[in-house]
Amino acid sequence: MSFGQNVAATKIELLKYKKSSQVAIMVQKILDDKRKVLLKNIEEMIQEASKARGGIWDPLQDIYKSVNEAYLALGTGTVDSVAESTPPVMEVDIHVRRVVDVKIPALTVTETDTKSMPYGFADTNSSIDRAAKQIKVLLPKICKAAEYENSIFSLAKALEKTQKLLNALENVIIPQYKEKIRFILATLEEREREDFAKLKKVKAKMENRN
């Protein structure tokens, strides 16, 4: 349906526009409820992301310091060799959950070997040991912070799209439906008045003949 076309002022068209207007208002209500839920979830996740980030930076600085000490003491070749030959002992699983109709990836970190360090001690020192232990503790927190950040981004995109649809309904589509309904009602009322006036004239002529 093009809103630029002329409106046929008939009762059938009036019923059609009234029904379309009702549907548009119903969709507006659904979208507004969705917008509120998205906003609430974004606010909650911003708070959680702030908490998650707050617990990361200081330990991360300690890890950088430990790794830097290891590089200085052992040399880049030794540290890189240890890093490349070390088997992974932690896994990150991804599953998807939904907030309203937005897909949000959730991360779960599991440790596959909790009893031993994943490398030999002959060519390492306490700095590497300290960094390895710290990163094992910190990785789940980093993943959780990343999960919140990504969730906020996805929800914000959904909120932007929802707001655009709401704006179109509130400022364009629904007002145009209402304007067309008013036009048809006014036209039909004018026709009824004209028909009534014609009937009065016809009746008057018939009475004059008698």
6 found inside a domain: no
Cβ partners under 8 Å of residue 119, min gap 6: 82, 85, 86, 128, 132
Q: Residue range 38-53: average pLDDT?
A: 91
98 found inside a domain: yes
1 found inside a domain: no
What are the tens digits of pLDDT across the range 3-39? 445 778 888 999 999 999 999 999 999 999 999 999 9
User: Distance (Å, rounded) from C-alpha 162 to C-alpha 118?
Assistant: 48
Reading the block at residue 75, the tokens are 């040399």
Strands 90-99 and 102-111, bridge-based pairing: antiparallel
Cβ partners under 8 Å of residue 72, min gap 6: none
pTM: 0.72
For the chain, what is the domain count?
1
Residues 184 and 10 sit within 8 Å (Cβ to Cβ): yes
User: Distance (Å, rounded) from C-alpha 100 to C-alpha 204?
Assistant: 67
Q: Residue range 63-92: average pLDDT?
A: 78
Domain CATH number, residue 111? 1.10.287.3240
State which of 31-45, 67-81, 92-106 shows the largest mean pLDDT: 31-45
5 found inside a domain: no
In DSSP terms, which residues pair with 93 in a beta bridge?
Answer: 108
158 found inside a domain: yes
3-class DSSP string for 170-194: HHHHHHHHHHHHHHHHHHHHHHHHH
SS3 of residue 30 by DSSP: helix
Q: Quote the pLDDT of residue 105.
A: 87
Range of the domain at 74: 11-201
3 found inside a domain: no
What are the tens digits of pLDDT across the range 56-69? 888 888 888 888 88
207 found inside a domain: no
